Amino acid sequence: MSFLIPKTALCSCCLAASLVGQGPNPAMNSNMAWQMQQQNFQAQRMMQMQQQMFRQMQMQQSQMRLQQAMHLQIARQAAAQARLTTQLEQAARLSPNFPPPVLPKPAKEIWQVSLGQSERWPCFDGNHLIGVAAEPLRLQGLDQASGKVTWETPIQGKPELDPVLMGDHLLYVNKDYLLVLMDAATGQAKHQIQLEKLGGFLFSAKAQLPKVLFPVLSEQVLILPIFGKGKEGPVGIVYALDALSGKKLWETQIPGGADLSPVLHGERVLVGGCGRVMALDLKTGKPAWEVWTGAAEPLGGGTLVGDRFCVLSQGKLIGIDARTGEKAWTRPFKGDAILMGEGDRLVHTEKRGFISVKDWVVALDVRTGETSWEQKVGSTRLPWIQAGKVICNAETNLLAMDLGSGKLLWQVDLGAVPQLPFAFSGDAAYVVTKVKDEHRIQAIRLADGTQAWDFFQGGGRSEGLLLPLADGLLFPGEKGSLVALK
Protein backbone atom coordinates (compact mmCIF):
# COMPACT_ATOMS: atom_id res chain seq x y z
CA MET A 1 0.00 0.00 0.00
CA SER A 2 1.39 3.49 -0.98
CA PHE A 3 0.67 6.85 0.66
CA LEU A 4 0.53 10.17 -1.25
CA ILE A 5 1.98 13.25 0.39
CA PRO A 6 0.71 16.66 -0.88
CA LYS A 7 3.19 18.44 -3.11
CA THR A 8 2.95 21.55 -0.92
CA ALA A 9 4.15 19.73 2.15
CA LEU A 10 7.91 20.18 2.73
CA CYS A 11 10.20 18.96 5.40
CA SER A 12 12.26 21.39 7.50
CA CYS A 13 15.39 20.95 5.33
CA CYS A 14 13.47 21.68 2.14
CA LEU A 15 11.83 24.66 3.81
CA ALA A 16 15.20 26.16 4.72
CA ALA A 17 16.50 25.64 1.21
CA SER A 18 13.44 27.31 -0.30
CA LEU A 19 14.01 30.44 1.78
CA VAL A 20 17.61 30.87 0.64
CA GLY A 21 18.06 33.56 -2.00
CA GLN A 22 14.71 35.21 -1.39
CA GLY A 23 14.50 38.93 -1.09
CA PRO A 24 14.35 40.95 2.17
CA ASN A 25 10.61 40.85 3.02
CA PRO A 26 10.48 39.60 6.61
CA ALA A 27 6.69 39.76 6.98
CA MET A 28 6.11 37.87 3.78
CA ASN A 29 8.74 35.33 4.58
CA SER A 30 7.31 34.87 8.06
CA ASN A 31 3.79 34.36 6.70
CA MET A 32 5.00 31.85 4.08
CA ALA A 33 6.97 29.98 6.74
CA TRP A 34 3.89 29.77 8.97
CA GLN A 35 1.73 28.46 6.08
CA MET A 36 4.32 25.89 5.18
CA GLN A 37 4.54 24.76 8.81
CA GLN A 38 0.76 24.37 8.91
CA GLN A 39 0.81 22.38 5.66
CA ASN A 40 3.63 20.21 6.96
CA PHE A 41 1.71 19.60 10.22
CA GLN A 42 -1.40 18.61 8.29
CA ALA A 43 0.62 16.30 6.07
CA GLN A 44 2.20 14.61 9.08
CA ARG A 45 -1.21 14.24 10.73
CA MET A 46 -2.63 12.74 7.52
CA MET A 47 0.30 10.34 7.36
CA GLN A 48 -0.35 9.27 11.01
CA MET A 49 -4.04 8.72 10.22
CA GLN A 50 -3.17 6.66 7.13
CA GLN A 51 -0.68 4.61 9.15
CA GLN A 52 -3.33 4.05 11.82
CA MET A 53 -5.82 2.98 9.15
CA PHE A 54 -3.17 0.64 7.73
CA ARG A 55 -2.61 -0.93 11.15
CA GLN A 56 -6.36 -1.32 11.61
CA MET A 57 -6.61 -3.01 8.21
CA GLN A 58 -3.78 -5.35 9.17
CA MET A 59 -5.53 -6.19 12.44
CA GLN A 60 -8.81 -6.79 10.59
CA GLN A 61 -7.09 -9.04 8.05
CA SER A 62 -5.37 -10.93 10.89
CA GLN A 63 -8.69 -11.34 12.68
CA MET A 64 -10.33 -12.54 9.47
CA ARG A 65 -7.57 -15.09 8.93
CA LEU A 66 -7.95 -16.22 12.54
CA GLN A 67 -11.72 -16.49 12.16
CA GLN A 68 -11.30 -18.43 8.91
CA ALA A 69 -8.88 -20.79 10.65
CA MET A 70 -11.33 -21.19 13.53
CA HIS A 71 -14.23 -21.84 11.17
CA LEU A 72 -12.11 -24.34 9.26
CA GLN A 73 -11.17 -26.08 12.51
CA ILE A 74 -14.81 -26.12 13.60
CA ALA A 75 -15.81 -27.53 10.22
CA ARG A 76 -13.14 -30.21 10.49
CA GLN A 77 -14.24 -31.08 14.00
CA ALA A 78 -17.86 -31.22 12.87
CA ALA A 79 -16.93 -33.50 9.98
CA ALA A 80 -14.88 -35.72 12.30
CA GLN A 81 -17.76 -35.81 14.79
CA ALA A 82 -20.17 -36.70 11.98
CA ARG A 83 -17.91 -39.56 10.90
CA LEU A 84 -17.58 -40.72 14.50
CA THR A 85 -21.34 -40.51 15.00
CA THR A 86 -21.88 -42.56 11.85
CA GLN A 87 -19.35 -45.14 13.02
CA LEU A 88 -20.97 -45.31 16.44
CA GLU A 89 -24.40 -45.71 14.87
CA GLN A 90 -23.10 -48.48 12.63
CA ALA A 91 -21.43 -50.15 15.60
CA ALA A 92 -24.65 -49.87 17.58
CA ARG A 93 -26.52 -51.65 14.81
CA LEU A 94 -23.93 -54.42 14.71
CA SER A 95 -23.56 -55.01 18.44
CA PRO A 96 -25.89 -55.13 21.42
CA ASN A 97 -26.30 -52.12 23.66
CA PHE A 98 -24.22 -51.95 26.79
CA PRO A 99 -26.28 -53.72 29.47
CA PRO A 100 -27.07 -52.17 32.83
CA PRO A 101 -25.01 -53.38 35.83
CA VAL A 102 -27.95 -55.59 36.85
CA LEU A 103 -30.92 -56.43 34.65
CA PRO A 104 -34.25 -55.28 36.12
CA LYS A 105 -36.22 -57.89 38.01
CA PRO A 106 -38.76 -59.53 35.72
CA ALA A 107 -42.36 -58.68 36.48
CA LYS A 108 -44.06 -61.34 34.39
CA GLU A 109 -43.98 -63.51 31.31
CA ILE A 110 -44.58 -61.29 28.28
CA TRP A 111 -44.57 -63.88 25.51
CA GLN A 112 -44.05 -67.56 24.79
CA VAL A 113 -43.17 -69.30 21.53
CA SER A 114 -43.37 -73.03 20.96
CA LEU A 115 -40.37 -74.55 19.19
CA GLY A 116 -41.77 -78.10 19.22
CA GLN A 117 -39.65 -80.98 20.47
CA SER A 118 -36.45 -79.35 19.31
CA GLU A 119 -33.34 -80.23 21.32
CA ARG A 120 -31.40 -77.33 19.83
CA TRP A 121 -30.97 -74.07 21.70
CA PRO A 122 -31.92 -70.77 20.07
CA CYS A 123 -29.23 -68.54 18.56
CA PHE A 124 -28.93 -65.08 20.10
CA ASP A 125 -26.20 -62.44 19.82
CA GLY A 126 -27.95 -59.36 21.22
CA ASN A 127 -29.26 -58.30 17.80
CA HIS A 128 -30.77 -61.40 16.23
CA LEU A 129 -32.90 -64.04 17.95
CA ILE A 130 -33.20 -67.25 15.94
CA GLY A 131 -35.30 -70.18 17.10
CA VAL A 132 -34.62 -73.72 15.90
CA ALA A 133 -38.06 -75.33 15.70
CA ALA A 134 -38.81 -78.99 15.10
CA GLU A 135 -41.47 -81.05 13.32
CA PRO A 136 -40.38 -80.16 10.69
CA LEU A 137 -36.92 -78.83 11.48
CA ARG A 138 -36.81 -75.14 10.56
CA LEU A 139 -35.34 -71.77 11.49
CA GLN A 140 -37.46 -68.89 12.76
CA GLY A 141 -36.56 -65.25 13.14
CA LEU A 142 -38.17 -63.98 16.35
CA ASP A 143 -38.93 -60.41 17.38
CA GLN A 144 -37.40 -59.81 20.83
CA ALA A 145 -40.18 -57.51 22.00
CA SER A 146 -43.19 -59.61 21.01
CA GLY A 147 -41.91 -63.10 20.15
CA LYS A 148 -43.58 -62.75 16.76
CA VAL A 149 -42.15 -64.94 14.00
CA THR A 150 -40.79 -62.51 11.40
CA TRP A 151 -39.52 -65.16 8.97
CA GLU A 152 -39.27 -68.92 8.69
CA THR A 153 -37.24 -71.26 6.51
CA PRO A 154 -36.75 -75.05 6.50
CA ILE A 155 -33.37 -76.64 7.25
CA GLN A 156 -32.08 -78.72 4.38
CA GLY A 157 -31.17 -82.15 5.69
CA LYS A 158 -29.99 -83.00 9.18
CA PRO A 159 -27.47 -80.46 10.47
CA GLU A 160 -23.95 -81.64 11.17
CA LEU A 161 -23.09 -78.13 12.35
CA ASP A 162 -26.04 -76.61 14.19
CA PRO A 163 -27.10 -73.09 13.15
CA VAL A 164 -24.55 -70.46 14.12
CA LEU A 165 -24.92 -66.66 14.23
CA MET A 166 -21.89 -64.67 13.09
CA GLY A 167 -22.52 -60.96 12.75
CA ASP A 168 -25.24 -60.54 10.13
CA HIS A 169 -24.70 -64.09 8.88
CA LEU A 170 -26.59 -67.23 9.89
CA LEU A 171 -25.16 -70.54 8.72
CA TYR A 172 -25.31 -74.28 9.16
CA VAL A 173 -23.76 -77.35 7.47
CA ASN A 174 -25.70 -80.56 6.89
CA LYS A 175 -24.40 -84.14 6.85
CA ASP A 176 -23.79 -83.95 3.10
CA TYR A 177 -21.29 -81.11 3.70
CA LEU A 178 -23.63 -78.50 2.20
CA LEU A 179 -22.96 -75.09 3.73
CA VAL A 180 -26.04 -72.84 3.76
CA LEU A 181 -25.30 -69.16 4.38
CA MET A 182 -28.24 -66.87 5.15
CA ASP A 183 -29.07 -63.28 6.03
CA ALA A 184 -29.74 -63.32 9.77
CA ALA A 185 -32.25 -60.46 9.54
CA THR A 186 -34.46 -61.98 6.84
CA GLY A 187 -33.61 -65.69 6.72
CA GLN A 188 -33.02 -65.36 2.99
CA ALA A 189 -30.44 -67.84 1.69
CA LYS A 190 -27.49 -65.97 0.18
CA HIS A 191 -25.26 -68.89 -0.78
CA GLN A 192 -25.28 -72.67 -0.83
CA ILE A 193 -21.72 -73.96 -0.99
CA GLN A 194 -20.99 -77.62 -1.54
CA LEU A 195 -17.87 -78.56 0.41
CA GLU A 196 -15.95 -81.69 -0.45
CA LYS A 197 -18.01 -84.78 0.39
CA LEU A 198 -15.83 -86.84 2.69
CA GLY A 199 -16.70 -90.39 3.66
CA GLY A 200 -17.71 -91.64 7.09
CA PHE A 201 -16.17 -94.18 9.45
CA LEU A 202 -17.84 -97.41 10.60
CA PHE A 203 -16.98 -99.35 13.77
CA SER A 204 -14.27 -96.84 14.64
CA ALA A 205 -13.71 -94.24 17.35
CA LYS A 206 -13.34 -91.72 14.53
CA ALA A 207 -17.06 -92.11 13.82
CA GLN A 208 -17.71 -90.16 17.02
CA LEU A 209 -15.58 -87.20 15.97
CA PRO A 210 -17.37 -84.13 14.56
CA LYS A 211 -17.52 -83.91 10.77
CA VAL A 212 -17.76 -80.10 10.85
CA LEU A 213 -16.00 -78.00 13.46
CA PHE A 214 -17.19 -74.69 14.91
CA PRO A 215 -16.13 -71.89 12.51
CA VAL A 216 -14.67 -68.44 13.10
CA LEU A 217 -15.30 -65.18 11.22
CA SER A 218 -12.55 -62.61 10.57
CA GLU A 219 -14.26 -59.52 9.12
CA GLN A 220 -15.99 -61.22 6.15
CA VAL A 221 -13.68 -64.26 5.89
CA LEU A 222 -15.26 -67.45 7.21
CA ILE A 223 -12.83 -70.14 8.39
CA LEU A 224 -14.45 -73.59 8.50
CA PRO A 225 -12.71 -76.97 9.02
CA ILE A 226 -14.30 -80.31 8.06
CA PHE A 227 -13.24 -83.89 8.83
CA GLY A 228 -13.90 -87.24 7.21
CA LYS A 229 -12.56 -90.14 5.20
CA GLY A 230 -10.65 -89.19 2.08
CA LYS A 231 -9.17 -91.33 -0.70
CA GLU A 232 -6.05 -92.03 1.34
CA GLY A 233 -7.57 -92.18 4.81
CA PRO A 234 -8.68 -89.63 7.41
CA VAL A 235 -8.25 -86.04 6.33
CA GLY A 236 -9.18 -82.56 7.47
CA ILE A 237 -9.78 -79.62 5.17
CA VAL A 238 -9.75 -75.99 6.33
CA TYR A 239 -11.78 -73.68 4.07
CA ALA A 240 -11.61 -69.90 3.86
CA LEU A 241 -14.76 -68.47 2.28
CA ASP A 242 -15.91 -64.95 1.50
CA ALA A 243 -19.11 -64.63 3.53
CA LEU A 244 -20.47 -61.92 1.20
CA SER A 245 -19.89 -63.52 -2.18
CA GLY A 246 -19.63 -67.20 -1.18
CA LYS A 247 -16.36 -67.45 -3.08
CA LYS A 248 -13.77 -69.95 -1.87
CA LEU A 249 -10.57 -68.05 -1.08
CA TRP A 250 -8.34 -71.02 -0.22
CA GLU A 251 -8.32 -74.50 1.30
CA THR A 252 -5.60 -76.33 3.22
CA GLN A 253 -5.49 -80.00 4.11
CA ILE A 254 -4.58 -81.39 7.53
CA PRO A 255 -3.40 -84.99 7.03
CA GLY A 256 -5.01 -87.33 9.54
CA GLY A 257 -7.94 -85.06 10.31
CA ALA A 258 -9.08 -81.81 11.88
CA ASP A 259 -9.79 -81.74 15.62
CA LEU A 260 -9.43 -78.15 16.78
CA SER A 261 -11.89 -75.39 16.01
CA PRO A 262 -10.00 -72.51 14.38
CA VAL A 263 -8.65 -69.72 16.58
CA LEU A 264 -7.54 -66.31 15.25
CA HIS A 265 -4.16 -64.90 16.25
CA GLY A 266 -3.43 -61.66 14.40
CA GLU A 267 -3.13 -62.39 10.69
CA ARG A 268 -2.98 -66.13 11.30
CA VAL A 269 -5.50 -68.84 12.08
CA LEU A 270 -4.52 -71.68 14.43
CA VAL A 271 -5.85 -75.14 13.55
CA GLY A 272 -4.83 -78.72 14.15
CA GLY A 273 -5.65 -82.39 14.16
CA CYS A 274 -4.22 -85.87 14.65
CA GLY A 275 -1.22 -84.64 16.65
CA ARG A 276 -0.41 -81.75 14.32
CA VAL A 277 -0.86 -78.05 15.19
CA MET A 278 -0.55 -75.44 12.43
CA ALA A 279 -0.66 -71.67 12.00
CA LEU A 280 -2.08 -70.71 8.59
CA ASP A 281 -1.75 -67.36 6.90
CA LEU A 282 -5.22 -65.80 6.96
CA LYS A 283 -4.92 -64.47 3.39
CA THR A 284 -3.31 -67.43 1.65
CA GLY A 285 -3.84 -70.49 3.86
CA LYS A 286 -0.14 -71.34 3.68
CA PRO A 287 1.40 -72.73 6.91
CA ALA A 288 3.55 -70.25 8.83
CA TRP A 289 4.64 -72.97 11.25
CA GLU A 290 3.76 -76.54 12.19
CA VAL A 291 4.23 -78.46 15.44
CA TRP A 292 4.13 -82.19 16.07
CA THR A 293 2.78 -82.95 19.55
CA GLY A 294 4.26 -86.45 19.66
CA ALA A 295 1.30 -88.74 18.99
CA ALA A 296 -1.08 -89.20 16.06
CA GLU A 297 -4.11 -88.89 18.34
CA PRO A 298 -7.04 -86.47 18.38
CA LEU A 299 -6.26 -83.11 19.96
CA GLY A 300 -8.31 -81.21 22.51
CA GLY A 301 -8.28 -77.86 24.23
CA GLY A 302 -7.24 -75.42 21.54
CA THR A 303 -7.39 -72.36 23.83
CA LEU A 304 -5.44 -69.18 23.12
CA VAL A 305 -4.36 -67.16 26.17
CA GLY A 306 -2.14 -64.23 25.25
CA ASP A 307 0.50 -65.70 22.94
CA ARG A 308 0.14 -69.25 24.29
CA PHE A 309 -1.91 -71.77 22.33
CA CYS A 310 -2.77 -74.58 24.77
CA VAL A 311 -3.69 -78.02 23.40
CA LEU A 312 -4.27 -81.47 24.88
CA SER A 313 -2.56 -84.51 23.40
CA GLN A 314 -2.49 -88.04 24.88
CA GLY A 315 -2.58 -87.05 28.54
CA LYS A 316 -0.39 -83.99 28.16
CA LEU A 317 -1.10 -80.28 28.15
CA ILE A 318 1.18 -78.38 25.79
CA GLY A 319 1.70 -74.62 25.67
CA ILE A 320 2.81 -73.47 22.20
CA ASP A 321 4.18 -70.02 21.38
CA ALA A 322 1.62 -68.84 18.82
CA ARG A 323 4.15 -66.46 17.26
CA THR A 324 6.88 -69.01 16.49
CA GLY A 325 5.33 -72.46 16.93
CA GLU A 326 7.87 -73.45 19.58
CA LYS A 327 6.76 -75.61 22.51
CA ALA A 328 7.02 -73.36 25.56
CA TRP A 329 6.17 -76.09 28.07
CA THR A 330 4.61 -79.55 28.47
CA ARG A 331 3.01 -81.02 31.59
CA PRO A 332 0.94 -84.11 32.48
CA PHE A 333 -2.79 -83.47 32.43
CA LYS A 334 -5.64 -85.33 34.15
CA GLY A 335 -8.26 -82.58 34.12
CA ASP A 336 -11.37 -81.94 32.06
CA ALA A 337 -10.86 -81.20 28.38
CA ILE A 338 -12.50 -77.75 28.47
CA LEU A 339 -9.97 -75.00 29.16
CA MET A 340 -10.62 -71.34 29.90
CA GLY A 341 -8.11 -68.53 30.04
CA GLU A 342 -7.65 -64.81 30.54
CA GLY A 343 -4.63 -62.61 31.14
CA ASP A 344 -1.83 -65.00 32.12
CA ARG A 345 -4.02 -67.70 33.70
CA LEU A 346 -5.35 -70.95 32.23
CA VAL A 347 -8.17 -72.51 34.28
CA HIS A 348 -9.60 -76.02 34.23
CA THR A 349 -11.34 -78.46 36.58
CA GLU A 350 -9.98 -81.79 37.76
CA LYS A 351 -11.51 -84.70 39.70
CA ARG A 352 -9.47 -86.09 42.59
CA GLY A 353 -10.02 -88.90 45.04
CA PHE A 354 -11.12 -92.53 44.95
CA ILE A 355 -13.95 -93.02 47.44
CA SER A 356 -15.06 -89.41 47.84
CA VAL A 357 -14.36 -87.80 44.47
CA LYS A 358 -14.17 -84.02 44.58
CA ASP A 359 -13.76 -81.38 41.91
CA TRP A 360 -10.80 -79.00 42.02
CA VAL A 361 -10.36 -75.75 40.15
CA VAL A 362 -6.76 -75.44 38.96
CA ALA A 363 -5.14 -72.30 37.52
CA LEU A 364 -1.85 -72.43 35.63
CA ASP A 365 0.62 -69.69 34.73
CA VAL A 366 0.23 -69.82 30.98
CA ARG A 367 3.76 -68.50 30.44
CA THR A 368 5.47 -71.36 32.28
CA GLY A 369 2.83 -74.08 32.60
CA GLU A 370 3.33 -74.20 36.37
CA THR A 371 0.43 -74.37 38.84
CA SER A 372 -0.45 -70.92 40.18
CA TRP A 373 -3.18 -72.02 42.58
CA GLU A 374 -5.82 -74.70 43.13
CA GLN A 375 -9.02 -74.88 45.17
CA LYS A 376 -11.24 -77.81 46.17
CA VAL A 377 -14.86 -76.95 45.34
CA GLY A 378 -16.74 -80.22 45.77
CA SER A 379 -19.14 -81.00 42.94
CA THR A 380 -19.15 -78.18 40.42
CA ARG A 381 -20.28 -77.04 37.03
CA LEU A 382 -17.82 -75.72 34.49
CA PRO A 383 -16.25 -72.55 35.93
CA TRP A 384 -16.47 -69.22 34.14
CA ILE A 385 -14.01 -66.33 34.08
CA GLN A 386 -15.81 -63.02 34.51
CA ALA A 387 -14.63 -59.57 35.69
CA GLY A 388 -11.25 -60.92 36.83
CA LYS A 389 -12.91 -63.64 38.89
CA VAL A 390 -13.35 -67.39 38.55
CA ILE A 391 -17.06 -68.09 39.11
CA CYS A 392 -18.17 -71.63 39.91
CA ASN A 393 -20.48 -73.51 42.22
CA ALA A 394 -19.61 -75.97 44.96
CA GLU A 395 -22.76 -78.05 45.18
CA THR A 396 -25.34 -75.48 46.40
CA ASN A 397 -22.86 -72.61 46.89
CA LEU A 398 -21.80 -70.02 44.32
CA LEU A 399 -18.14 -69.05 44.66
CA ALA A 400 -15.97 -66.25 43.34
CA MET A 401 -12.18 -66.62 43.43
CA ASP A 402 -9.58 -64.10 42.40
CA LEU A 403 -8.22 -65.13 39.01
CA GLY A 404 -4.67 -64.15 39.87
CA SER A 405 -4.29 -65.63 43.35
CA GLY A 406 -7.19 -68.06 43.81
CA LYS A 407 -8.26 -66.24 46.98
CA LEU A 408 -11.90 -66.84 47.88
CA LEU A 409 -13.60 -63.44 47.46
CA TRP A 410 -17.15 -64.38 48.39
CA GLN A 411 -19.49 -67.33 48.74
CA VAL A 412 -23.29 -67.42 48.66
CA ASP A 413 -25.68 -70.29 49.37
CA LEU A 414 -28.12 -70.66 46.46
CA GLY A 415 -30.37 -73.05 48.38
CA ALA A 416 -30.13 -75.75 45.69
CA VAL A 417 -27.84 -77.06 42.98
CA PRO A 418 -27.95 -74.91 39.78
CA GLN A 419 -30.09 -76.39 37.02
CA LEU A 420 -28.81 -74.46 33.99
CA PRO A 421 -25.45 -72.97 32.96
CA PHE A 422 -24.80 -69.56 34.45
CA ALA A 423 -25.72 -66.48 32.43
CA PHE A 424 -23.78 -63.22 32.69
CA SER A 425 -24.85 -59.70 31.80
CA GLY A 426 -23.31 -56.46 33.04
CA ASP A 427 -21.91 -56.95 36.54
CA ALA A 428 -24.14 -59.82 37.59
CA ALA A 429 -24.51 -63.58 37.26
CA TYR A 430 -27.94 -65.15 36.76
CA VAL A 431 -28.41 -68.60 38.29
CA VAL A 432 -31.37 -71.00 38.00
CA THR A 433 -32.23 -73.48 40.75
CA LYS A 434 -35.34 -75.61 41.26
CA VAL A 435 -37.62 -75.19 44.26
CA LYS A 436 -40.41 -77.79 44.27
CA ASP A 437 -42.30 -77.22 41.01
CA GLU A 438 -40.84 -73.80 40.27
CA HIS A 439 -37.56 -72.49 38.95
CA ARG A 440 -35.91 -69.76 40.98
CA ILE A 441 -33.83 -67.22 39.05
CA GLN A 442 -31.38 -65.23 41.15
CA ALA A 443 -29.35 -62.19 40.12
CA ILE A 444 -26.04 -62.21 42.02
CA ARG A 445 -23.74 -59.18 41.98
CA LEU A 446 -20.23 -60.19 40.94
CA ALA A 447 -18.62 -57.47 43.06
CA ASP A 448 -19.61 -58.90 46.44
CA GLY A 449 -21.94 -61.87 45.92
CA THR A 450 -25.03 -60.10 47.23
CA GLN A 451 -28.39 -60.93 45.75
CA ALA A 452 -29.94 -58.17 43.63
CA TRP A 453 -33.27 -59.99 43.25
CA ASP A 454 -34.89 -63.38 42.79
CA PHE A 455 -37.83 -64.39 40.63
CA PHE A 456 -39.90 -67.59 40.56
CA GLN A 457 -41.03 -69.04 37.25
CA GLY A 458 -43.46 -71.90 37.13
CA GLY A 459 -42.81 -74.88 34.88
CA GLY A 460 -39.78 -74.79 32.63
CA ARG A 461 -37.08 -77.29 31.81
CA SER A 462 -33.87 -78.27 33.57
CA GLU A 463 -31.93 -78.18 30.33
CA GLY A 464 -31.27 -75.42 27.84
CA LEU A 465 -29.98 -71.90 28.31
CA LEU A 466 -30.94 -68.79 30.23
CA LEU A 467 -30.27 -65.93 27.79
CA PRO A 468 -30.06 -62.25 28.87
CA LEU A 469 -31.88 -59.68 26.75
CA ALA A 470 -31.31 -55.92 26.94
CA ASP A 471 -34.04 -55.60 29.60
CA GLY A 472 -35.15 -59.14 30.35
CA LEU A 473 -34.40 -62.86 30.16
CA LEU A 474 -35.16 -65.75 27.82
CA PHE A 475 -36.06 -68.90 29.72
CA PRO A 476 -36.43 -72.49 28.40
CA GLY A 477 -40.12 -73.28 28.97
CA GLU A 478 -42.00 -76.54 28.96
CA LYS A 479 -42.43 -78.74 25.89
CA GLY A 480 -39.76 -76.98 23.88
CA SER A 481 -41.11 -73.47 24.34
CA LEU A 482 -39.11 -70.27 24.68
CA VAL A 483 -40.33 -67.80 27.32
CA ALA A 484 -39.49 -64.08 27.58
CA LEU A 485 -39.52 -62.58 31.09
CA LYS A 486 -39.57 -58.82 31.64
Domain membership flag for residue 36: yes
- Residue 458 pLDDT level (bands cut at 50, 70, 90): confident
Mean local confidence (pLDDT), 157-186 = 95
Domain membership flag for residue 29: yes
pLDDT at 437: 86
| Residue that terminates a domain, selected from 366, 388, 407 | 407
| Angle between helix 12-19 and 26-94 (nearest 10) | 160
CA atoms within 13 A on the CB side of 66: 6
Percent of the chain with pLDDT over 70: 80
The closest alpha carbon to 120, from 95, 137, 103, 107, belongs to 137
Q: Which domain holds residue 26?
A: 12-94
* CATH code of residue 382: 2.40.10.480
Strand order in the sheet with 438-445: 423-425, 428-435, 438-445, 451-458
The per-residue pLDDT for range 419-440, each reduced to its tens digit, is 988 999 989 999 999 998 899 9
| Residue that terminates a domain, selected from 62, 94, 126 | 94
The closest alpha carbon to 413, from 457, 444, 459, 447, belongs to 444
Domain membership flag for residue 280: no
Domain membership flag for residue 205: no
Domain membership flag for residue 451: no
Mean local confidence (pLDDT), 26-55 = 62
Domain membership flag for residue 415: no
Beta bridge partners of 253: 237
Does position 91 have pLDDT exceeding 50, yes or no?
A: no
pLDDT at 353: 87
Mean local confidence (pLDDT), 253-263 = 94
- Residue 21 pLDDT level (bands cut at 50, 70, 90): very low
Mean local confidence (pLDDT), 29-58 = 64
The more confident residue out of 349 and 45 is: 349
Domain membership flag for residue 361: yes
| Residue that terminates a domain, selected from 407, 434, 452 | 407
Amino acid at 149: V
Domain membership flag for residue 460: no
Domain count, the chain: 2
pLDDT at 62: 58
Mean local confidence (pLDDT), 73-99 = 52
